[in-house]
Amino acid sequence: MQKLSAGMTRTNAAPGEGALQPLVIVIGEGPGAEEDAQGRPFVGRAGQLLDKMLASINLSRNSNCFIANVVKCRPPNNRDPYPEETAACAHFLERQITLLKPRFILAAGRVAAQTLLKTTEPIGKLRGKFKELTVGNMTLPFLATYHPAALLRNEDLKRPAWEDLKLLRSMLDKERTG
């Protein structure tokens, strides 16, 4: 049977939105049902939590963040994106990063972190420390944290996610004060 790809079943692509000269680009996994309906990233329950998390460290898609996803179309039934799908969207995401020139990359969740770092290490190992990610001709500081949907499922992840956010804030402050 033919595999149904996200591009064949989506209602709207949700390529990304936010500030055009962002301090931070936040990269999630891919659109869910609400994002598919609206064509906007992170607008469902997880998105509302993401907005609150960002606001707690003075970040917002309205002023200093751009929000994007590894894949731009909703995988049917919210399954993990297929490797062919992340590969199909990789150039799009790379172009978004090189055009927007953010100062930091924040990966939200396992799929984003593993895809961007090209690894299968668990998110628990990848989060919590700055790494460097080379995209096109830029090398940017990169931090991974838990996906807000994971925080909605498991309260225990809230504390480590908060530690990650504080770490990001301290790096942003360091950069500002030089």
Q: How many residues bind ligand URA (CB under 6 A)?
A: 13
Q: Of the two residues 41 and 141, which places its CB atom closer to ligand URA in the complex?
A: 41
d(CA 50, CA 56): 10
Binding flag, residue 31, ligand URA (CB under 6 A): yes
**What is the separation of C-alpha 145 from the centre of its chain, rounded to a whole number of angstroms?**
9
Instruction: Candidates 42, 104, 142, 146: give the one binding ligand URA (CB under 6 A).
Output: 42
Query: Applying CB under 6 A, does 22 fall inside the site for ligand URA?
Result: no
Out of 28, 81, 102, 141, point to the residue binding ligand URA (CB under 6 A).
28
Q: Which stretch binds ligand URA (CB under 6 A): 37-45, 57-65, 156-164, 166-174?
A: 37-45
- Ramachandran class of 118: left when φ > 0, alpha when ψ lies in -120 to 50, beta otherwise: left
CA atoms of 147 and 161, how far apart (whole Å):
9
Q: Is 16 a binder of ligand URA (CB under 6 A)?
A: no
Residues constituting the chain: 178
Angle at 108 between CA 105 and CA 109, to 5 degrees: 135
Contact set with ligand URA (CB under 6 A): 14, 28-32, 35, 41-42, 44, 46-47, 69
